[in-house]
Structure formats: structure tokens, C-alpha cells
Amino acid sequence: MWGLVNNAGISTFGEVEFTSMETYKEVAEVNLWGTVRTTKSFLPLLRRAKGRVVNISSMLGRMANPARSPYCITKFGVEAFSDCLRYEMHPLGVKVSVVEPGNFIAATSLYSPERIQAIAKKMWDELPEVVRKDYGKEYFDEKIAKMETYCNSGSTDTSSVIDAVTHALTAATPYTRYHPMDYYWWLRMQIMTHFPGAISDMIYIH
């Protein structure tokens, strides 16, 4: 077996106090533990072929984002798992790469306006009374509106992601990380990963 691409993933939204523990576990089960399980299952074949592992992470595996903590946690985990695996597999001839796509939600059709509203209604209905009282419906609705805007933005052309995966699987010297994203997100990621936290907080926390 020459190559494994771990691409399965689910996403969700909601601030920490709006998100149930069940949601955290559900997202982690697919995005993180699914990646670990699948990789471990195929590593013997990949080792013998001196093949490739390509893990699909996200720009949100490198920089946190409000209202996306379940997704960010799991993608940060995929990044760490990939780094550990790359160190371990290097002497054995297996190359490990991470692809970190930017905002391609509009291309996936994961979140229609109707689905966002359905998720939001269920989330609000299940919130503890103290959380609903302290935050209020107006605040909650503002955050949902921001999520709708984000989901309707971004690229619908996934060719850059496909090109990155293809290169990681076929190039003689694949990159450690690929960044198929538009310039805004690329620049933001550089600032948030290379500048002191106080500076990136000052720019991006509103």
C-alpha cells in the first residue's frame, strides 16, 4: 500500500458554553481518533512499501477561532499526531504530510442556512438556563449570524486542495505542510503562529 489520505471529518460551531460534551466527543471521535485508528491500521502496509501518509487538517489546526473549539481541538490534535508520526516514520522511509485547507465550507455544502438555523435552535433549546439567562438570545443570535456569514464565504474551488494531496502522494520530496488557502487566511495564520500572542490578540480579538 503506497498512500493513505485521512480526509474524513465533521464540523460544528458554537461557543464553549453553548457546546455540549456530547458534541465535543462526537467531533473528536471522527476527526482525531478516526485519523489515529485508520493510520495505525494501515501502517504495517505503508512501512513495507515506504509509502505516504497524508492527513487533512485545517488552518484551524494552527490557529484557534471563536465558536469553533470542538473542531479546533481535534485539528490541533491531528497536527500533533502527524508531527509525532513523521518523526517516527522518517527512519523507516515513510513520509508524512499535513494539508491545512483554508475556508472551503462553501464548497462542501455542509452548512446551508436552513441547517445552521436548525442546529442553532437545538443548541439554544438544550442550553442550561443559567447560560441562556447570562448571555441572552440577542448575543446568541449575533454569533449564529456571524457563522452564517462565514459559511457563505470562502472558496468553492477545491482544486488547490486536490493539488496539494496529489503532490504529497506523488512527489519525490513532499512538503511537511501544505497551505491551500487564500491570502487573507495565510497571512492571518502567519501572524497568529509567528507573532507573540499579545500582538495577534490585539489584532484579531474583537
Task: Please write the tens of the pLDDT for every residue from 78-99.
Answer: 999 999 999 999 999 999 999 9
pLDDT at 138 over 90: yes
Asked if residue 65 is part of any domain, the answer here is yes
* 0.75 exceeded by pTM: yes
DSSP state of 63: S
Asked if residue 34 is part of any domain, the answer here is yes
Task: Please write the tens of the pLDDT for every residue from 1-27.
Answer: 999 999 989 988 999 999 999 999 999
Written in H, E and C, the secondary structure of 112-127 is CHHHHHHHHHHHHHHC
pLDDT at 206 over 80: no
Asked if residue 161 is part of any domain, the answer here is yes
Residue 36: the pLDDT is: 99
How many structural domains are present in the chain? 1
Residues contacting 6, CB < 8 A, separation 6+: 34, 35, 38, 39, 53, 54, 55, 56, 78
Residue-number span of the structural domain to which 60 is assigned:
3-106+157-194
Catalytically annotated residues: 71
Task: Please write the tens of the pLDDT for every residue from 102-129.
Answer: 999 888 877 878 889 999 999 999 999 9
Asked if residue 67 is part of any domain, the answer here is yes
Asked if residue 71 is part of any domain, the answer here is yes
Residue 152: the pLDDT is: 79
Residue 176: the pLDDT is: 99
CATH number at residue 79: 3.40.50.720
Task: Please write the tens of the pLDDT for every residue from 35-60.
Answer: 999 999 999 999 999 999 999 999 99
